[in-house]
Structure 1
């Protein structure tokens, strides 16, 4: 078996950390040759959130077809041709769901006699900004990073954001400010002390009776409302780099008890005002981190990075004194292309993962890796 012609660095990525079953092929850490994502939202909507047991069973059913489609779309014809490596999200996430993807990746790596790479899901969200098609505003178009930091001599450096950069990683389970100083080198600058931003979106959506998932629904509804209609608090915005959104969620609940949103216009005003408060905090904290570190390169990552107001706010920063990198919406939410890209970079830096590597429900973003 040989790698497909001209794609010796193509990595198959697998993502099963939560409720998306995904597979993708990425070459050179940036060129997306295929990306298949099968959502389980319809399976979980009736429960108002992700049910781990249902997610795990669905991954078992959906993953084989996703991998097959990703390979076909990338023109990799197994068994005559195989990817150069297989990478899978190994955490953090739902343990039963992670086991499905990691087990499949190990089996394929063994069958094809190629390296296996265990990828941190949070780190993968950072690498979505290195994929071709990621938005870039402000400054010169980047040509890549220091070759020694990006790849071994056998591989050309992958294009992508110039480092160091400040990353706002914001999702359903995490809200973090990270300084990425190099590939595999991160410093956690701030994080949520309670609810993540995406979690707050889901909770406010439930308060408004909007259903699951809350983030996209509130984002759409907010376009119909007045963001200045209600002055919700901006928790912890005055200082520091940590976040807190539980108080904002409580403020929305108190407002709705006093002023029930009985029609769409009232709901839209609550949605718009809540979203404005969240985005104000996220933007202010990011700029504070950039100023404190003297860094002008910014990156938006994670599922909430698909939010229209947050994206618009960061894009506007690119017209000022900042260089801003934002993945496409499809690459902000959980996908396997970001996993494959991370796997490529990790393989260049430190080689394959041991086949004994086990999935982890809790796994902090790695810091100061070699």
Structure 2
């Protein structure tokens, strides 16, 4: 089996996968953000990751028998770029290298973004929505998935929306030989990530951090009049700093929190809709994989399916089960398994 590690800005994650493609077990723990705060300093997050990892390992449902660890994989940077860096990911790098050295196995280093994409593909394989069904499936574990052919249900190139607290990018993804991902940024936010918009407005309303699930519940419960937030979209890129300013102003003017919560969600959906319409026309790519914690939002999914899935646009939106959208180490472990299998075939 292969061990995966991911220490992102707000979640410590471990995962175990088999080379045959099964998810053997995983464990995650959110970092404790103080009430009323909109985040956590990197140094404090590093401290919590170090403290979490031992406890998380003990929580992993280790498989029975003589299953051997044959590889380790760690998300060591935010994006697959040499200059991409955040201190929190040094924890996964250090622990991954130490564990691999102690066991005498290889350690593969990947990025948090690549992990999200592979976790999303895995989620689709074990229970995600079929490309044109309009429904999100339910996972039925354990389901064997061949790591080396993961994503075979998609065209060789497709679009991916990585939507989270730290990133809001639209990517052109090509699956190369051996399952390696070639990633090009073709759109996304020009300033504020979607998750930060949600968290900033949510905390201003008095909601816990991270605010996504709480804001979503507030939206579902609201039955009053709606307000709208204008959003600027230029080609595949959009700006969310203006909507943040307007949402703050609406709350100061006494607008109901539920109305503003719904406006925030609708504004993000509208920005993505316009950007994806443009990019689908420009690139000719119609398959869109949605990953990252914000992409688990039910209202966002419903609107994008409705507006982009009809015949006039013809996009095929792919939504993995929610647990494979939020931060996890399943993708990192899967990347390790794919690399190990590829090395054995050389």
Q: Using the alignment, how far apart are the partners of 1:40 and 1:117 within structure 2?
A: 25
1:88 to 66, 74, 81: 74
Number of residue pairs the alignment of both structures matches:
317
Would the aligned equivalents of 1:14 and 1:24 in 2 still touch at CA under 8 Å? Answer: yes
1:334 aligns with 2:296: no
Unaligned runs of 5+ in 1: 1-9, 141-153, 352-370
2:10 to 19, 22, 27: 19
Offset from partner CA, 1:18-70 (integer Å, 9 cap, x none): 221111012348532211111223x5445332233332222222202323433
C-alpha distance after superposition, 1:239-298 (max 9, x if no partner):
4101210001011122233x224xxxx111111122111111112212321222112211
Aligned-pair Cα RMSD in Å: 2.7
CA distance in 2 between counterparts of 1:226 and 1:281 reads 24
Structure 2 unaligned regions, length at least 5: 79-83, 134-145
Matched, 1:254 2:243: no
For residue 103 of structure 1, the aligned residue among 94, 110, 119 is 94
1:361 corresponds in structure 2 to none
Using the TM superposition, give the Cα deviation of residue 117 of structure 1 relative to its aligned residue in structure 2, in angstroms: 0.8
- Match among 214, 238, 244 for residue 243 of structure 1: 238
> Deviation at 1:162?
1.0
The match for 2:204 is 207
Q: What are the within-5 Å matches in structure 2 for residues 300-315 of structure 1?
A: 300-315=290-305
What's the offset of the Cα at 1:82?
2.5
User: What is the CA distance between 1:94 and its match in structure 2?
Assistant: 7.9
| Distance in 1 (alpha carbons) for counterparts of 2:149 and 2:118 | 14
TM-score by length of 2: 0.82
TM-score by length of 1: 0.77
Note if contact 2:31-2:45 (Cα within 8 Å) is conserved in structure 1.
Answer: yes
CA pair 286-68 structure 1, distance change in 2 beyond 3 A: same
2:214 aligns with 217
Is the contact made by 1:128 and 1:134 (CA closer than 8 Å) also made in structure 2? no
Shift of 1:200: 0.8
Q: Distance in 2 between matches of 1:204 and 1:215?
A: 10
**Inter-CA distance 155–234: structure 2 relative to 1 (3 Å threshold):** closer
Q: Counterpart in 2 of 1:362? A: none
Residue 299 in structure 1 maps to residue 294 in structure 2: no
Give the SS at the match of 2:239. coil
How much does 1:340 deviate?
1.0
Residue 232 of structure 1: CA displacement?
A: 1.4
Q: Does the C-alpha gap of structure 1 residues 168 and 209 become closer, same or farther in structure 2, counting only changes over 3 Å?
A: same
SS of 2:237's equivalent in the other structure is coil
What SS does the corresponding residue of 1:243 show, helix, strand or coil? Answer: strand
* 1-structure distance, mates of 2:221, 2:147: 49
Residues 350, 330 of structure 1: alpha-carbon distance in 2 compared, 3 angstrom cutoff: same
